Structure 1
């Protein structure tokens, strides 16, 4: 085990993330234009990326830093009855695409998270999202990968699966911070208060 190698790999991914920070700010602004007007955000991923998708939607339905109105956000991977029923009846490749068809409307946002960018169920979701008029954003591992090619815009980061997921969590937080700033909420003071 080499903890320094892990930390160095994460630092490389975060350096790449820093160079894409304007993309996340733009995404946050896009969310701020659409979600308060009634659009929703759908998110999906597999495994650890499913956890990141749920984290994103929880920050929007609950709150990130500021106390504010809740916004419509659904983690498709967390819909356990739908996931198992669709998987059983249509196959796992259709597990997210069918939910996109059911829940997505033109003008909504679909965020797909993947470390490889090659999961067929996410590729099908991207295709269905485009067909239904959703804006498709992807957070993936390094290019080239098919999900990056299908999405309207992609945040692609270097590293192995663990490193990419860790950097994606940071990206999710930056996205939520950008969203809250764009809807006019002040950033929370995260400095420690000394009494």
Structure 2
């Protein structure tokens, strides 16, 4: 029988090592600070934050919006934010009528406005529907932030502020993304 206690300890050590490593990554820390400043500036101008991702990254996109619209760590007015991952009717209609690669780009075309911020979340940096969304966001004058992993992939070059977690493990990248969202 497997020793799940030892496996759990190993995973927790890996997560702790990952957090320790990225907390010392000055480039990453500066990118997170720049992203926070950009988001705050945009929201103060009455603009909105738009997020998207796939799978666990979709959950992270929705989690971020919940923190912005909710109160997060203290009572305040709600902030304008929307996750493009929540409307299954829209997502499935766009996937069926166009292509799954267009499910986020088409929504950005509909609701994105210059001065808004689009945050694309992809652990590989290569998600086939995040890349067109980043391109559409840039075309429409949105600022672009990427929560990325590995080497940042193709998405890195499309982001005004790429935040790259330099790890090849999807779970460790996703854990870091949630920590960054909470930063």
SS at match of 1:77: coil
The Cα shift of 1:30 comes to: 1.7
Structure 2 runs not aligned, ≥5 long: none
TM-score normalised over the length of structure 2: 0.89
One of 115, 119, 122 as aligned partner of 1:111: 119
User: Which residue matches 2:169?
Assistant: 160
User: Which residue matches 1:169?
Assistant: 178
The Cα shift of 1:144 comes to: 4.7
The Cα shift of 1:159 comes to: 3.4
User: Which residue matches 1:133?
Assistant: 141
Output aligned runs, 1:8-87, within 5 Å.
8-18=13-23, 19=25, 20-87=28-95
Where relative contact order (Cα < 8 A, 6+ residues apart) is larger, the structure is 1
CA distance in 1 between counterparts of 2:20 and 2:32 reads: 14
CA distance in 2 between counterparts of 1:162 and 1:50 reads: 14
TM-score normalised over the length of structure 1: 0.84
Structure 1 runs not aligned, ≥5 long: 175-195
Given that residues 123 and 174 in structure 2 are in contact (C-alpha distance below 8 angstroms), is that contact kept between their aligned partners in structure 1? yes
SS at match of 1:93: helix
Alignment root-mean-square deviation, CA: 1.4
Number of corresponding residues: 174
CA distance in 2 between counterparts of 1:57 and 1:17 reads: 23
CA distance in 2 between counterparts of 1:4 and 1:12 reads: 12
Given that residues 95 and 103 in structure 2 are in contact (C-alpha distance below 8 angstroms), is that contact kept between their aligned partners in structure 1? yes
